[in-house]
A and B are shown apart, each in its own frame.
Chain A
Amino acid sequence: MSVAAYGRLRSKKRRNRTMNLITFVVVVLFAILAIFPIWWIFRTSLMTNAEIYKYPPSLIPDNWLFSNYEKTLKVFKFWKYLWNTMVIIVPSCLAGTFTATLCGYAFARLRFRGKSLIWALCVGSMLLPAMVTLIPLYIGWTRGLGFSDSYWPLILPYFCGGGAFNIFLIRQFIMSIPRELDQAATIDGAGYFRILFNIIMPAIRPAMIVVALFIFIGLWNDLLQQMIYINSSDKYTIALGLTNFRGQLKSDWSLTMAATCLSFAPGVIFYLIGQRYFVEGITLTGLKN
């Protein structure tokens, strides 16, 4: 290596190091900005009303009033709402993931008549915005099948293939698994379902977890459907309960923020547990075009 090239390499290394340092500082600043709203909500939940309205506001509560949470839990039926939400989410995630896997397997591996037509219908439905079918579905569920004030209209759709996007995701993933694996199993006398359960499913576990996560987030964020299908307050989900609670307690910000923090908690815990899969999964969807 010539002296000049060596010098260039060194200066490049130094430049890189300063660039990384600058990047790090910028990332820290943005991370603080991103996390700040959550902190502000949390610190409010631990304050007295007098302290909330103090000027200038303090970043950290004077004395951490965890008793606000006790007070909130008396009015805001968090555990009830959490249970109701889970009653919707858990079966939906399981059924949606399972049925999406079945369909994805059929599209990825099996040959049958009408495949390209069914596939086209499936992909086509992906471009259809959810709100287009909202009213006919509402009429169908409530008038046609009599599911008023019930969780079924929120759960049952996930028993029907788990959504085109998820089927698509699973299919892409199965296609990336070498066919030799199934062929070897066929030679050993395994049937199609055996192959699906014993070979494909273990191999696509990350994709299945991702589908479950997407269903979770979808239901977690969908206030509109919960609002139109659920009426009685003892059936409220977290989203409905909180929206309603805010209306009740318009100006008691510390209790409202305590309720908000309680509603944040399951998502954060869930995320911390499944973090690896979350990132892996969303990465998958980005790459598989």
Chain B
Amino acid sequence: METINKQQKRRSRIFSAEARVAYICLIPAFLGLIFLTYLPLVGVLGISLTNWTGLKSPVFIGFDNYIKIFTADPYIKDSIISTIYYAALSVAGSMIYSLFIALLLNRKIPARGFFRAVFYVPYVLPAAAIYVGWSWLYEGNFGFFNYVLSELGLKKILFIADSSYVVPSLSLISVWLAGNLIVIFLAGLQNVPVVYHEAAEVDGAGGWKRFRHITLPCMTPIIFYNLLMSLIANLQVVTPALALTNGGPGNSSRFLTYLMYDQAFVNYKLGYACATTLIIFAILAVFTTLLFKTSGRWIYNEGGDDK
């Protein structure tokens, strides 16, 4: 007993061999946490209180940037609206689409691996190339979608050149890109205990009932994970605006992160851009907190092994 105590004491010392190895292993992560995460976080706060343009040395101006954003910024309102609009459509669309496809692929059909690859492949293509490619499908006169519309006798649409269609059109691309969500859903579906289904079937529960009362509850943790990841990713949307629309037409796709990029790296208003960043951060924090807060009510924990 005493030897164990001694041993534990020895081990808990900072310079025990074990701890030394641990610290060596953690040097990279430690540097990363300090210089790539927490110091920049302090930095963004600090810079947001200045009028830095990158040329002259920064002058402390208090909360002026924030006041200006809320009172005099010509873009912020449209930006917030388009970002939330985009995120709402993309998250909802990709969640429904990927859960649906995953449910289909979870059944015993031939060539499952092949189909899984088909739905997953868009995810491994470079995002910039995806948007350039889709811009041709969306083209006003000769694009594929307009061909379909005119065949159906409908009016042509300028998908990405019309401010009322650009956000839904870009969201559709993000739904198409949701291959990773499908794979995660599939993994979750394969973990739903078969015995539950068998038991319910004996009790005469039909397909929909079993989905509603067995599959869905068992999937809630995975749904939560996908929802969270997809929300964080989509609220930070920027690539379509960078690769394709430049925030246009008008301000209709000037997403918040693009707005920040524009202010910082096109107009060199670094202080102002940092203030914008923190507003985006606040919006993100609000949405993720809401998600976490409400999750307790709908996430089903089997056996309550909640960690």
A: residues with CB less than 8 A from B are: 12, 19-20, 23-24, 26-27, 30-31, 34-35, 37-38, 40-41, 44, 52-53, 55-57, 99, 102-103, 105-106, 110-113, 115, 118, 121-122, 125, 127-140, 157, 159-162, 167, 191-193, 196, 217, 220-221, 223-224, 227-228, 238-240, 242-243, 246, 253, 256-257, 259-260, 263-264, 267-268, 270-271, 275, 278-279, 282-287, 289
Contacting residue for A267 out of B30, B125, B151, B232, CB 8 A = B125
Contacting residue for A238 out of B109, B129, B307, CB 8 A = B129
- Are B281 and A132 interface neighbours, CB within 8 A? yes
Contacting residue for A242 out of B107, B129, B270, B288, CB 8 A = B129
Question: Given A27-B104, A57-B142, A110-B21, do A34 and B122 touch, yes or no (CB 8 Å)?
Answer: yes
- Are B129 and A239 interface neighbours, CB within 8 A? yes
In the assembled complex, B87 has its CB within 8 A of some CB on chain A:
no
Question: Given A136-B43, A193-B21, do A103 and B125 touch, yes or no (CB 8 Å)?
Answer: no
Give the contact-size bracket for chain B. 35 or more
In the assembled complex, B191 has its CB within 8 A of some CB on chain A:
yes
- Are B144 and A121 interface neighbours, CB within 8 A? no
A-side binding surface: helix, strand, loop or mixed? helix
- Are B273 and A135 interface neighbours, CB within 8 A? yes
Within 8 A of A (CB), among B230-244: 232, 235-236, 238-239, 242-243
- Are A238 and B126 interface neighbours, CB within 8 A? yes
What's the Cα separation between A232 and B86 when bound, in Å?
Answer: 32
Chain A residues near B4 (CB-CB < 8 A):
none
- Are B123 and A246 interface neighbours, CB within 8 A? no
B-side binding surface: helix, strand, loop or mixed? helix
Cβ-closest chain A residue relative to B233: A129
- Are A161 and B120 interface neighbours, CB within 8 A? no
28 residue pairs of the A-B complex, CB under 8 angstroms, read A20-B107, A27-B105, A30-B104, A40-B137, A57-B142, A102-B26, A110-B22, A112-B18, A131-B238, A131-B280, A132-B278, A134-B264, A135-B260, A135-B264, A137-B40, A191-B17, A191-B21, A221-B126, A221-B127, A224-B242, A238-B126, A239-B127, A256-B132, A257-B136, A263-B129, A278-B120, A283-B186, A287-B191
